[in-house]
Amino acid sequence: MAMVKIPAKSLKEIIAMRIVEQREKAGLTQKELGIKLGFKEENAQAQIYQYEKGYRSPSKKRLEKMAELFSVPVDVLIINTENVYRSSGAVAEKPKEYLTEFDKEIALFKEEVKKYGAEGVRTARELLPVIFKGKKK
């Protein structure tokens, strides 16, 4: 099986982009979001700025809290494996011109894993931590 290498930088970029999208959709400033996530008022804006610029990635706990605040599944902030937009509970195809390089890589990876069925999916998920072990986020 050919492995598709997904650069860690792309993941940071997609998370950063989706945080901006969801924060703006919710009508929150960086500072307001930071405070809602539990950061102190004096550094709340700076923390979100760093997430949105891709300088830092939120922890799993913070991603879960953001998803809860935005009323979206966590995967909307991380990755959209089905290449769909979710809006008002409806699911629609994402127009091809809006696919990011990351979305394209995920689609290729998904097709490759699909050939191996459920066992292939489990194996791929188990291997991801091994592949990225020691790599900077």
Record the tokens describing residue 51, joined without a space: 């997430």
Contact indicator for 107, 94 with CB cutoff of 8 Å: no
Task: Provide the number of structural domains found in the chain.
Answer: 1
- pLDDT over 70 percentage in the chain: 69
Flag whether 3 is in a domain. Answer: no
Tell me whether residue 50 is in a domain: yes
Residue 119 lies in a domain: yes
Domain annotation covers residue 74: yes
Are 135 and 8 in contact, with CB atoms under 8 Å apart? yes
User: Cα–Cα distance between 108 and 45 in angstroms, integer?
Assistant: 36
Q: Measure the CA–CA gap between 82 and 110, rounded to whole angstroms.
A: 9
Do the domain assignments include residue 2? no
Q: Is pLDDT above 70 for 42?
A: yes
Q: What per-residue confidence (pLDDT) applies to 36?
A: 96
Question: Residue for token digits 């307001």?
Answer: 32
Q: Are 111 and 103 in contact (CB under 8 A)?
A: no
Is residue 8's pLDDT more than 70?
Answer: no
Question: In angstroms, rounded to a whole number, what is the distance separating the alpha carbons of residues 137 and 134?
Answer: 9
Residue 55's CATH number: 1.10.260.40
**Residue ranges making up the domain that contains 70:** 8-132
User: Is pLDDT at 17 greater than 50 in this prediction?
Assistant: yes
State pTM to two decimals. 0.54
Which pLDDT band holds residue 136 (cuts at 50, 70, 90)? low
In a domain, 36, yes or no: yes
**Highest mean predicted confidence (pLDDT) among 33-37, 96-100, 121-125:** 33-37
pLDDT band at residue 110 under the 50/70/90 scheme: confident
Q: Is residue 58 part of a domain?
A: yes
Helix (H, G, I), strand (E, B) or coil at 104: helix
Is 137 a domain residue? no
Tell me, what's the pLDDT at 100? 66
More confident residue, 129 or 56: 56
